[in-house]
A and B are shown apart, each in its own frame.
Chain A
Amino acid sequence: MTILDKSITEIKKHPPQDVIEECYEQIEKWAKKTNAFITLIPKEVSAKKAKSATGPLAGVPFVMKDSYLTSNIRTTAGSSILASYISQYDATVYKKLISAGAILIGKMNMDAWGHGASTENTDFGPAKNPWDLTRVSGGSSGGPAIALATRTAAFAIGEDTGGSIRNPSAWCNLTGLKVTYGRVSRYGCIAYASSLDTVGPMAKTAEDCALVLEHIAGKDQYDATSSEAVVPQYSKELNKPVREVTLGWSDELLVDLDSEIAKPLVAARQKFVELGMKIKKISLPLLKYGVPLYYILAPSETSSNLARYDNVRFGSTRDKFTPESERRIMIGTHALSAGYYDAYYKRAQKIRTLFINNYQKALDQCDAIIMPVNPTIPPKIGELLDKPINNMIADYFTGTINLAGLPSLSLPCGFSKDNLPVGMQLVGQMFSEDLLLRIGHQYQQSTDWHRQKPKI
Chain B
Amino acid sequence: MTYHPIIGLEVHVELRTASKMFCGCPANYFGKDPNTQNCPVCLGLPGALPVPNKKAVEWTIMLGIALGGKINQDSKFDRKNYFYPDLPKGYQISQYDEPVATGGKLMGIRIRRVHLEEDTGKLIHTEIDGEKVALVDFNRSGVPLVEIVTEPDFKTLDEVDLFLKKLQLIIRHLGISEADMEKGAMRIEPSISMQEDTIESLPNYRVELKNINSFRFARKALEFEIRRQTDMFTKGETPTQQTRGWSESKNETVAQREKEEANDYRYFPEPDIPPMKFSKTQVSEITSLTPELPDQKLARLGKEYDISSDLADRLIQSRLTSDLFEDLVQKSNVNVDFKNIDAPTIAKWLINHPPNTKSKLEDILREILESKPVSTLTPDDIDTLIGDALKTHPQTVTDFKKGKHAVVGFIIGSILSKTTSSIDRELLGKRIIVKLQSY
Contact = CB atoms under 8 A, between A and B. Distances in A.
Interface of A: 67-69, 75, 77, 82, 85, 88-89, 91, 186-191, 193-195, 221-225, 300-301, 304, 306-310, 312-314, 333, 336-339, 341, 345
B46 A304 contact: no
Contacts of A338: 261, 263-264, 266
Contact of A312 (B81, B85, B264): B85
29 contacts: A69-B45, A82-B46, A85-B46, A88-B40, A186-B49, A187-B48, A190-B47, A193-B271, A194-B272, A223-B49, A223-B51, A224-B49, A224-B273, A225-B272, A300-B268, A307-B83, A307-B89, A307-B90, A308-B45, A308-B46, A313-B45, A314-B45, A333-B266, A336-B81, A336-B266, A336-B268, A337-B263, A338-B264, A345-B268
A308 B88 contact: yes
B239 interface: no
A442 B259 CA distance: 63
A77 B46 CA distance: 9
Contacts of A221: 51
Which of A189, A194, A306: most chain B Cβ within 10 A?
A194
A130 to B, nearest CB: 29
B77 to A, nearest CB: 10
B49 A187 contact: yes
Nearest to B46: A190
Given A69-B47, A337-B263, A338-B261, A310 B271 contact: no
A313 B49 contact: no
Contacts of B50: 224
B400 interface: no
Contacts of B89: 307-308
Interface string B37-54: 001100111111111100
B393 to A, nearest CB: 76
A96 B271 CA distance: 24
Given A194-B272, A307-B90, A91 B51 contact: no
B79 A304 contact: yes
B136 interface: yes
Interface in B271-286: 271-274
B233 interface: no
B47 A68 contact: yes
A329 to B, nearest CB: 11
B78 to A, nearest CB: 11
Interface residues of B, number: 30
B163 interface: no
A221 B52 CA distance: 11
B266 A308 contact: no
Contacts, number: 99
Contacts of A191: 47, 272
Nearest to A68: B47
Contacts of A333: 266
A234 B306 CA distance: 72
Nearest to B263: A338
A222 B49 contact: yes
Contact of A310 (B43, B51, B90, B261): B90
A339 B262 CA distance: 12
B215 interface: no
A308 B141 CA distance: 14
Nearest to A81: B46
B91 interface: yes
A222 B47 contact: no
Nearest to A185: B49
A304 B272 contact: no
B266 A337 contact: yes
B139 to A, nearest CB: 14
A339 B263 CA distance: 8
B52 to A, nearest CB: 7
Given A223-B51, A312-B85, A89 B90 contact: no
Contacts of B88: 308, 312-313
A259 B46 CA distance: 42
B47 A310 contact: no
A189 B46 CA distance: 8
Interface in B54-104: 79, 81, 83, 85, 88-91
B267 to A, nearest CB: 8
Contacts of A307: 81, 83, 89-91
Given A190-B46, A336-B266, A312 B274 contact: no
Contacts of A75: 46-47
B92 to A, nearest CB: 11
B271 A69 contact: no
A341 B266 contact: yes
Nearest to A306: B90
B272 A224 contact: yes
Q: Which of B44, B49, B85 has the most chain A CB atoms closer than 10 A to its own CB?
A: B49
A89 B268 contact: no
A89 B45 contact: yes
B49 A88 contact: no
A188 B47 contact: yes
A224 B276 CA distance: 12
Top 7 A-B residue pairs of the complex, sorted by shortest distance between their CB atoms: A307-B90, A338-B263, A194-B271, A336-B266, A195-B271, A188-B47, A308-B44
Contacts of A309: 46
A122 to B, nearest CB: 17
A52 B48 CA distance: 30
B272 A341 contact: no
A310 B43 CA distance: 12
Contacts of B81: 304, 307, 336
Greatest chain B CB density within 10 A among A67, A193, A223, A224 is at A224
A88 B85 contact: no
A194 B91 CA distance: 14
A131 B52 CA distance: 47
Given A222-B49, A307-B89, A338-B261, 15 more contacts: A69-B47, A187-B49, A190-B46, A194-B271, A221-B51, A224-B51, A224-B272, A224-B274, A225-B49, A225-B271, A225-B273, A312-B85, A313-B88, A341-B263, A341-B266
Contacts of B47: 67-69, 75, 91, 186-191
Contacts of B271: 193-195, 225, 301
Contact of A89 (B40, B263, B266): B40
Residue with the highest number of chain B CB atoms closer than 10 Å, among A221, A222, A223, A306? A222
Contact of A313 (B43, B51, B273, B274): B43
Contacts of B272: 191, 194, 224-225
Nearest to B260: A338
A222 B266 contact: no
Contacts of A68: 47
Nearest to B77: A224
B90 A308 contact: yes
